[in-house]
């Protein structure tokens, strides 16, 4: 017997939305830190380090997020490590975001003219000083629009966490649909909620992109 769709269901979905946002923020924060480290390896002076980081990034980029998620959730279980769904989803999304953000940021660092690095090193700055005081501030301006754009991908990808039983927005909608049998209504609302989060991000990304082309500071 199908239940009617009520306001309580909306509340349940908003709760799911909150977890979607939390998981996105977690993935982005952890992934961002990891990505910065990977990016540094990707621009290392040492060829072997660059190559190693490149291979790892390529492998991760070539694996579906869902597979990474299963590997973390079920894989760690084999070693007797029971990870709660939020942790498993957080770790998997961190790995995924790190691989993509690292490449986005590497591109931005390399887009800063090589001569800037040369000028800094000719003033006796160390490589690290040149990177932090001259290159990164300029790369940051370039990196902001694509980074915000990638956040949209992260938000949408969190829906995959529903398969390991993590009740975020998609899983919440699925549960409600199982009892109400109103898929168009339920998933329509879920879609609208995703859109409500993602569209402002894309719009912000476009604004940032426009700003970048006007003036340099």
Partner 1 sequence: MSAVIELKDVHKSFGLVEVLKGVSLSVARGEAIAVIGRSGSGKSTALRCVNRLETIQSGEITVCGHPVHDPRLDVRKLRLDVGIVFQSYNLFPHLTVEENIMLAPVTVKKLRKAQARDLTAEALARVGLAEKAQAYPEQLSGGQQQRVAIARSLAMQPQVMLFDEVTSALDPELTGEVLRVMEDLAKGGMTMLVVTHEMGFARRVADRIVYMHQGRVWEVGDGTMLANPQTPELRAFMSHDL
Residue 141 in the binding site for partner 1 (CB under 8 A): yes
Residue 118 in the binding site for partner 1 (CB under 8 A): yes
DSSP 1-36: -PPPP-HHHHHHHHHHHHHHHHHHHHHHHHHHHHHH
What element of type H or E holds 99?
A: helix 85-111
Pick 78 or 124: Cβ nearer partner 1? 124
Pick 61 or 126: Cβ nearer partner 1? 126
What is d(CA 98, CA 68) in angstroms, rounded to the nearest whole number?
13
Instruction: Map residues 67-106 to x or -, x wherever contact with partner 1 holds by CB under 8 A.
Output: ----------------------------------------
Size of the site for partner 1 (CB under 8 A): 20
∠ at Cα 199 (193, 205), nearest 5°?
A: 150
Give residues 119-138 in contact with partner 1 (rule: CB under 8 A). 119-126, 129, 133-134, 137-138
∠ at Cα 48 (44, 50), nearest 5°?
A: 40
Q: What is the contact surface with partner 1 in residues (CB under 8 A)? A: 115-116, 118-126, 129, 133-134, 137-138, 141, 215-217
């Amino acid at each position: 017997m199908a239940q009617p769709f009520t306001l309580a269901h909306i509340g349940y979905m908003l709760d799911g939305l909150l977890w979607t946002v939390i998981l996105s923020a977690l993935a982005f924060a952890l992934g961002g830190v990891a990505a910065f480290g990977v990016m540094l390896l990707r621009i290392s002076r040492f060829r072997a380090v660059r190559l190693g980081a490149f291979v790892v990034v390529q492998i991760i980029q070539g694996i579906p997020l869902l597979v990474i998620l299963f590997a973390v959730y079920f894989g760690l279980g084999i070693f007797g490590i029971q990870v709660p769904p939020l942790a498993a989803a957080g770790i998997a999304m961190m790995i995924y975001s790190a691989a993509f953000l690292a490449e986005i940021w590497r591109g931005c660092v390399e887009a800063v003219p090589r001569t800037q690095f040369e000028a800094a090193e000719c003033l006796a700055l160390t490589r690290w000083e040149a990177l932090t005081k001259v290159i990164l501030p300029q790369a940051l301006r370039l990196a902001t629009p694509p980074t915000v754009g990638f956040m949209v991908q992260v938000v949408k990808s969190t829906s995959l966490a529903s398969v390991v039983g993590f009740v975020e927005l998609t899983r919440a909608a699925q549960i409600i649909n199982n009892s109400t049998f109103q898929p168009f209504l339920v998933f329509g609302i879920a879609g609208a909620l995703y859109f409500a989060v993602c569209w402002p991000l894309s719009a912000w990304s476009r604004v940032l992109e426009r700003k970048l082309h006007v003036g340099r500071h």
